Amino acid sequence: MGNEIGTYATLVEAVLAHAREIPEKPALCFKKTVLNYRELARQMQVSAGILSSRYGIGEGDRVMLSGLSKPEYIVLFLGIQYLHAVTIPLDKVWLEDTVVKMYDFIAPKCVITDMKFSREDVKRISMKELYSGAVTGGYPEEKNGGEPIVPEYTLPDPNLVAEMLFTTGTTGTPKGAMLTYKNIRSITKNNIYGVEFQSDDVVLDALPLCHSLGLREARMTLYAGATLVIQNGFSFPKELRVNMDEYHCTGFVCVPATMERLTRTVKDFPELFGRFRYLEIGAGSLSYDLKKRLPKLLPKSDIFNTWGSSETGGVIFLDVKRRQDKITALGRPVSTAEIRVIGENGRPIKATSIDNAGRLSIRGAMTMAGYFNMPEVNAETIVDGWLYTNDLVYTDEEGFVYMLGRADDIINTGGEKVSPLEVENVATEFPAVRDAACIGVADEILGQVPALFVAVEDPFTVEELRHFLAERLEPFKLPGEIIRIGEIPRNRMRKLDRKAVRKLWDERNEGPAMDTTILESILSRHSVRQFTEERIPRELLEKLVQAGIQAPSGHNLQTWRFTVVRSKEKIEEIRETGAGVAARERTGFYGFNNPDTLILVSNDIRNDCGIQDASCAAENILLAAHSMGLGACWLNGLMRICDQPEIRGLLDSLEIPSTHKVWAMIALGYPAAGDKTPARKADVVNWVE
Q: Would you state the pLDDT for residue 4?
A: 60
Please give the Cα distance from 605 to 603 (Å, whole number): 6
Torsion of CA 502, 505, 508, 513, to 10 degrees: 180
Residue 507 shares a structural domain with residue 623: no
What is the 8-class DSSP label of residue 207?
S
Residue 191 has pLDDT above 80, yes or no: yes
Task: Please identify, among 494, 524, 554, the residue that sits at the C-terminal boundary of a domain.
Answer: 524
Helices (H), 181-211: 181-194
Strands 278-281 and 251-254 turn out to be parallel
DSSP codes, 557-626: ----EEEEE--HHHHHHHHHHHHHHHHHHT------SS-SEEEEEEEETT-TTHHHHHHHHHHHHHHHHH
Beta-carbon count within 10 A of 200 CB: 13
Residue 630's alpha-carbon distances to 86, 495, 528, 595, 597, in angstroms, are: 37, 16, 9, 11, 11
Task: Please identify, among 495, 524, 553, the residue that sits at the C-terminal boundary of a domain.
Answer: 524
Residue 551 shares a structural domain with residue 640: yes
Residue 499 shares a structural domain with residue 570: no
Residue 546 shares a structural domain with residue 486: no
Residue 543 shares a structural domain with residue 663: yes
Domain count for the chain, please give it: 2
- The arithmetic mean of pLDDT across residues 639-648, rounded, is 91
Which residue(s) pair with 437 in the sheet? Answer: 453
- The arithmetic mean of pLDDT across residues 532-557, rounded, is 88
Residue 99's nearest CA partner among 85, 86, 112, 84 is 112
Residue 592 shares a structural domain with residue 644: yes
Whether residue 453 lies inside any domain: the answer is yes
Residue 559 shares a structural domain with residue 647: yes
Q: Report residue 285 CA to chain centroid gap.
A: 15
Please give the Cα distance from 115 to 586 (Å, whole number): 29
Q: Among 34-43, 456-465, 538-547, name the one with the lowest average pLDDT.
A: 456-465
What is the identity of the amino acid at 105? F
**CATH number of the CATH domain containing 474:** 3.30.300.30
Whether residue 296 lies inside any domain: the answer is no
Q: Would you state the pLDDT for residue 235?
A: 52
Whether residue 245 lies inside any domain: the answer is no
Q: What is the pLDDT of residues 558-589, one digit of tens each?
A: 999 999 999 999 999 999 999 999 889 888 88
Angle between helices 37-55 and 127-136 (to 10 degrees): 120
Q: Would you state the pLDDT for residue 406?
A: 85
**CATH number of the CATH domain containing 621:** 3.40.109.10
Please give the Cα distance from 182 to 179 (Å, whole number): 8
Residue 314's nearest CA partner among 386, 261, 358, 364 is 364
Please give the Cα distance from 231 to 208 (Å, whole number): 9
Backbone φ and ψ for 477, nearest 5 degrees, come out as -90, -10
Give the three-class secondary structure for 204.
Answer: strand
pLDDT band at 171 (very low <50, low <70, confident <90, very high): very low
Q: What is the pLDDT of residues 305-325, one digit of tens each?
A: 999 999 999 999 999 999 999
Residue 230's nearest CA partner among 238, 220, 240, 658 is 240
Residue 605 shares a structural domain with residue 633: yes
Angle between helices 420-427 and 288-297 (to 10 degrees): 40
What is the 8-class DSSP label of residue 122?
S
- HSE toward the beta carbon, residue 493, CA cutoff 13 A: 21
Please give the Cα distance from 290 to 442 (Å, whole number): 31
Q: Would you state the pLDDT for residue 375?
A: 94
Q: Would you state the pLDDT for residue 683?
A: 72
Q: Report residue 83 CA to chain centroid gap.
A: 30
Whether residue 520 lies inside any domain: the answer is yes
pTM of the predicted model as reported, rounded to 2 decimal places: 0.71
Residue 510 shares a structural domain with residue 557: no
385 in the Ramachandran plot: left (φ > 0), alpha (ψ -120 to 50) or beta?
A: left
Residue 512 shares a structural domain with residue 583: no
State the Rg of the chain over Cα: 27
Residue 665 shares a structural domain with residue 547: yes
State the residue range of the domain holding 581.
538-669
Whether residue 337 lies inside any domain: the answer is no
Whether residue 594 lies inside any domain: the answer is yes
Please give the Cα distance from 643 to 430 (Å, whole number): 52
pLDDT band at 601 (very low <50, low <70, confident <90, very high): very high
Q: Would you state the pLDDT for residue 641?
A: 92
Residue 163 has pLDDT above 60, yes or no: yes
Peptide bond just before 237 cis, omega within 30 deg: yes
316 near 402, Cβ under 8 Å?
Answer: no
Beta-carbon count within 10 A of 34 CB: 16
Q: What is the pLDDT of residues 606-637, one digit of tens each?
A: 998 999 999 999 999 999 888 777 889 999 88
Helices (H), 233-329: 238-247, 256-265, 269-273, 288-297
Whether residue 98 lies inside any domain: the answer is no
Residue 597 shares a structural domain with residue 481: no
435 near 428, Cβ under 8 Å?
Answer: yes
Residue 535 has pLDDT above 60, yes or no: yes
pLDDT band at 104 (very low <50, low <70, confident <90, very high): very high
In terms of pLDDT, which residue wins out, 202 or 151?
A: 202
Q: What is the pLDDT of residues 424-482, one digit of tens each?
A: 989 999 988 988 999 999 887 788 899 999 987 676 778 889 889 988 988 889 998 99
pLDDT band at 143 (very low <50, low <70, confident <90, very high): low
Residue 591 has pLDDT above 80, yes or no: no
Give the three-class secondary structure for 290.
Answer: helix
**Mean pLDDT for the chain?**
88
Q: What is the pLDDT of residues 490-502, one digit of tens each?
A: 877 778 888 889 8
pLDDT band at 80 (very low <50, low <70, confident <90, very high): very high
Whether residue 104 lies inside any domain: the answer is no
